[in-house]
Structure 1
Amino acid sequence: MPVNGTASPSVPASTGYDLGSTIRYTCTGTNNIIGSSINICQNDGSWRYTAIPVCSSVCYSAPTILNGDYMPKQIYANPGTSVYYNCISPSYQIRGSTQATCQATTLTWTSAPVCQRVCGNPPGITNGTYTMNGGNAFFEGAKVNYTCSKSFRLSAASSGSNPLNENSCLSSGSWQHTTPTDLPSCEPLCTSNPPSITVGSGIPTTSPPYAVGDTVAYNCTSPSPALLFGNTSNLCEVFETWKYPAPVCRQGYYILTT
């Protein structure tokens, strides 16, 4: 029987163990067994294992993790001993502490990390970028949001399948949206008003920003009465570029003819 341990079932006082009997050793307190925790009475009356196990203040082997491993390898570890984990593929990254330690009070290990699938960089969009919703790695479930550079406006994906203009890292290690039609786009804008009226006064009938192709109409405010001479509207051609010079507002009347 091991020191600081027991055997079950206990030795019968008069008859001993029957051939083929199995006994199990357990340790008292938090000690762990070094050696075999069972023994078998063989047909010739001998025990299969001649060495009696030892109850000692050690931890068993450190916990294993999926898609990862640890070093150094050891069957038993003294309290305070640490092992260090890493993932076996670049497609996985450690989440949690890379270290686990044998605890003296319980002779168990501190929590082991997990190796979780990660995605590569998400697909980008022209004249825009993405921002990550927290964290510093693209783990499974991570989301990114797309935004546009200055003078561009975000337009939803043409497929209609991505109304939130975001992307998610899937358990397969790929991104949920990868095709151009599933990604938002950045359309150029004219972020300022069209050329201002300098002769007389007037204002555009709408306010910026304007998408390329938008038309803005002018309206004279003075002198009064005023007539608009020149192009009565302007066109945002390329971002920050207007097609026509400003019209002028001059005093006058329209003559009605019959």
Structure 2
Amino acid sequence: MAGYTPVSGSYAIGSTVRYTCATGYKLEGSSTITCQASGTWTSAPTCDQIVCRNPSSISNMASFTPSSGPYTPISKNVVTYTCNTGYKIVGSATITCQDSGEWTNSPQCQKIVCPNPSSISYMESFSPSSGPYTPISKNVVTYTCNTGYKIVGSATITCQNTGRWTANPQCEQIVCPNPSSISNMASFAPSSGPYTPLSKNVVTYTCNAGYKIDGSATITCQNTGRWTASPQCQQIVCPNPSSISNMASFTPSSGPYTPITNNVVTYTCDAGYKIDGSATITCQNTGRWSTSPQCEQIGM
């Protein structure tokens, strides 16, 4: 006990004394005693330790600490609750054992729910498309972008224990670099961008005179941001001119023959023969010669 009052060397018959208990203890019995005619006091009270009952379990709680008592206003007087994953404390996480022997109000464990994911510009969809979204169910959402756009950042967002999502990605337009120049090309069209999978997505190459496309003349800007394979410009070469009956020669007599060098060959006939048709043939852009003449006997 804490003590009694008043404190005196002697007490007259009929005097009373009031007892008080130390913190954490409560009186059992009357707080006052009286000096009787017999020279004795009436029965003194006792000071019993205040003990709070074990804390209540609450729905979806993980634990409380300390987990065992005794719980009193002066030792283990504060208990802290934690909730299961996916739940949050509503109210104070701590309860206190009071001098009344009762705890302060217990908190609640409330399910954490993230708001519906935000729409982002140029997105096609996100999935799952409906909630509720919590840290333990439907906790990851995946975004996809419209055709011609790509995800910048993580395609997925996560519902966190704070009730907030991780950062959203962005949908960024896919742009292919300017097409590569190739040897002996004349041009490509369209000649300026931006080039995307949705606009100016096909470029067509042409070669310089005397060269031909090897491969597809067109390249396509893909959703990867890369072009399909570029063609090459290959020199056009005509085969050696054909020999014709009764010819004396053709000049130039050796190649290579192309539409831009050694492109005209002239035939001459043996003595007694004359050219029938044009004496010259031309190496064309098709890689073929124009029609060869004939050597016709004179006087026939």
Q: TM-score, normalised by structure 1?
A: 0.39
Q: Which has the higher contact order (CA 8 A, sep 6+)?
A: 1
Q: TM-score, normalised by structure 2?
A: 0.35
Higher Cα Rg, which structure: 2
